[in-house]
A and B are shown apart, each in its own frame.
Chain A
């Protein structure tokens, strides 16, 4: 059974800092991995999707990397801003089954 872990559960940083959010998964046979953002009381916004054959994806100040063999992904946020404060969730899609398996998320607070 695929399990996704995100540690720590919460993170607080000052504005302007570069930061890395970690995600690990137990079964390396994944189809792809998605990073999502969730604001309080809201749904999920897809940030980046990395196919199993890819090593990284970039969008603006965000860069996601994937090391499938070690079961790890990181989300790098450059020059963090207070507007980046949210919960960031990592999810993997395993094999032919189309469901996503999520971690519990990391709640990020960027202090002005």
Chain B
């Protein structure tokens, strides 16, 4: 089937604006993750969903960042009052959870966010 998809692929916004980034995981994957990757760095964890609930949101940098996954499939990352420092590539990944499966994470192509 299709892999993880993310929309939009690029988003340019002005400082102070609100943005939403969407992630469609691989069908049937119960776990969904958001990461943020700045230039020259590895991805940094933001939040992890198991089903509809956020199992770990310890990576969200502050309360301007929020994510939802209301039906346990598609997820939306929401950023309020964007700042220039939020500019990065936002990556989404999904996996099937199970010890025998190794919980391998499969990544989408990312959304490049630029805050002017």
Q: Which residues of A contact B (CB under 8 A)?
A: 4, 31-32, 34, 36, 41-46, 49, 51, 89, 91, 93, 97-105
Contacts and interface: CB of A to CB of B under 8 A. Distances in A.
Interface residues of B, number: 29
Contacts of A103: 42
A98 B42 contact: no
A91 B102 CA distance: 13
Nearest to A91: B42
Nearest to A9: B40
A36 B103 contact: no
Contact of B107 (A36, A41, A93, A101): A36
B109 interface: yes
Contact of B43 (A45, A51, A102): A102
A4 B48 contact: no
Contacts, number: 65
Contacts of B102: 32, 49, 51
Interface of A is mostly: strand
A43 to B, nearest CB: 4
B62 interface: no
Closest 9 CB pairs of A and B: A102-B42, A99-B45, A44-B107, A43-B109, A43-B107, A49-B104, A104-B42, A43-B110, A102-B43
A9 B49 CA distance: 32
Contacts of B50: 98
Residue of A42, A44, A49, A91 most packed against chain B (CB within 10 A): A44
